[in-house]
Structure 1
Amino acid sequence: MPMIDVYATTGTFADKHQLAIDLASTVMRVEQVPDIPMFRKNTAAFIHELPEGDLSNVDGDSRDVRVQVLTNAGALDRDKQLVLVEQLTALIATAAADPTLPERTWVLLTEAPDGGWGLNGHANTNNELIEAARAQIASLQGQPPQG
């Protein structure tokens, strides 16, 4: 259940809420997790606006964007990494209405160690997340969960 954080100078994006929805939906689709409430409600994007002057590269340009995606360990193989970075970069440029933004958009893919993130007060392992997803799928289908 990825968390996406975007950092950009205030005013970069006209519709931050739609961008957050688009980013979360894209990550969920590329990750290829089941379309169930557990993942839909817990794959989220946070848009962080930085005041002018709080962001700069060496040349003083403050138009860079940083996107950090946190997933559980092993969620993204190399093919998914390539697709995700390409698609998130395109979303950022489109949301900013700036076709030059891809050259200034950093996408960082970060993995939480097994058991290294929590939800509902519990630090989840990958196996626990898989079991919870299977249980939810079974309950949605009206079947007992399979181990």
Structure 2
Amino acid sequence: MPMIDVYAAASTFADPKKLAQDLARTLMVIEQVPDIPMFRKNTAAFVHDQPATHVSNVDGDSTYVRVQVLTNADALDRDKQLAVVRQFTDLIAEAAGDATLAERTWVLLTEAPDGGWGLAGYANTNTELVAAARAEIAVLSAGADPS
């Protein structure tokens, strides 16, 4: 259940909600998690508009984007890390309508330690998250409503 935060100068993206949905959906695909409510409801992206005066490099340019992805420990092997960075960079540039923004998009991958991942008021371990997903899949397979 990753969290994605995008920081950019205000008005960088014409449709921030679509970008948030695209990033969340893309990460679920890359992580190869089951398409179940538990993951759909808890994989989310937040687009934070920053005043252009609050973003700068050394030369004063403010046309940069920072994307921070927080996942549970060991969710992304090397191939998945590369896929997240490439695909998120492409989505950012496309959402901004500026192919050159890919050169100024930073993607930071961060892992929460095992047990450092809270959901519904409880800090889950990876083992507990897997068990919860399996239980939900079993309920769905039986034709019941998991909520």
Assess same fold via TM > 0.5.
yes
2: CA distance, partners of 1:13 / 1:81:
24
1:16 paired with 2:16, answer yes
* Corresponding residue of 1:119: 119
Q: Secondary structure at the match of 1:41?
A: helix
2: CA distance, partners of 1:106 / 1:117:
24
Render the CA deviation track for 1:12-65: whole Å, top value 9, x for unaligned. 000001000000000010000000000000000000000121010111000000
2: CA distance, partners of 1:141 / 1:134:
10
- The one-letter amino acid of 1:63's match is T
CA shift at 1:117, angstroms?
1.7
Q: Which runs of 5+ in 2 are unaligned?
A: none
2: CA distance, partners of 1:111 / 1:59:
32
2: CA distance, partners of 1:127 / 1:86:
29
- The one-letter amino acid of 1:26's match is T
2: CA distance, partners of 1:73 / 1:9:
30
The CA RMSD measured in Å over matched residues stands at: 0.8
1:95 paired with 2:95, answer yes
CA shift at 1:89, angstroms?
0.2
CA shift at 1:86, angstroms?
0.3
Identical positions, percent? 72
* Corresponding residue of 1:142: 142
Q: Secondary structure at the match of 2:52?
A: coil
Q: Which runs of 5+ in 1 are unaligned?
A: none
* Structure 1 ranges of 4+ moved more than 2 A: none
TM-score (norm 2): 0.96
- The one-letter amino acid of 2:115's match is G
| Alignment of structure 1 residues 7-46 onto 2, 5 Å | 7-46=7-46
* Corresponding residue of 1:52: 52
2: CA distance, partners of 1:117 / 1:139:
23
TM-score (norm 1): 0.96
